[in-house]
Amino acid sequence: MWELIEMNINRSLTYFACILGGLLGNISYFLCFFISLSLYPLPFSPVNNWMSDLGNSSYNPQGAIWFNIANILSGVGLVLFYVGFSVWYGEEGKQNFLMKLTQVAGFLNAFAIVMVGIFSEDYGAFHGVLAGLFFHTNLVVLIFTFLAFRSLPQFPKWIARYCLLVAGLNLSFIVFSFTVFYMFPLPLLEWMTVVAGYPLVGLFLAKMIRSSRQG
């Protein structure tokens, strides 16, 4: 009996961590992001500006700190969010292995987001390395998420397929970044990749809230 009670408590805490992390990551990011954007003194466009321009103190003297805080809080929230994926562990070894790979990749991706916030565009090439780490780990997370959730009976398959759409955007940005094909505005592709990822977190969060109520 006590083992059952302890198991239910641990499961509830895992749900709580995931929900708290998802809400913290999304809400804090968008709140701080729009504060930073409102303080940007020059014309700003996704076609001409990288997202990280908001965190550059030379371009955005008053608002840079807010964008960098947005990344740091988003990364911290995502750590808790991926901890919550433990509730999807099942009896099948392969399924659990894929879920754990998703979590590990998610933790690395969250770490990259925090580092991007700490080492902003002010740090030049080092920031570019960290941004590259973010997009590469993000691509791995999306692929593993698709593989882990595509055959999960209680999970909508269309959400898993949406992972592939975002992964396609992410891969396109990586490929265009390392080639000479600049026919597509790269900043806009970066924006599309990042923005498309946040509804995905929201969808997983909604599913987690629904599952926690049923549980």
Q: Is the dihedral of CA 164, 170, 176, 179 positive or negative?
A: negative
Q: HSE on the CB side for 31, CA within 13 Å?
A: 10
Residue indicated by tokens 């321009």: 53
Asked if the model's pLDDT at residue 215 lies above 70, the reply is no
Chain-centre distance for alpha carbon 128? 18
8 token code pair: 């239910």
- The DSSP result for 68-93, as a single string, is HHHHHHHHHHHHHHHHGGGGG--S-H
- Please give the mean pLDDT across all residues of the chain: 86
Q: What is the pLDDT of residue 5?
A: 40
Q: What is the pLDDT of residue 1?
A: 44
Q: What is the pLDDT of residue 2?
A: 40
Q: How many CB atoms lie within 10 A of CB 128?
A: 14
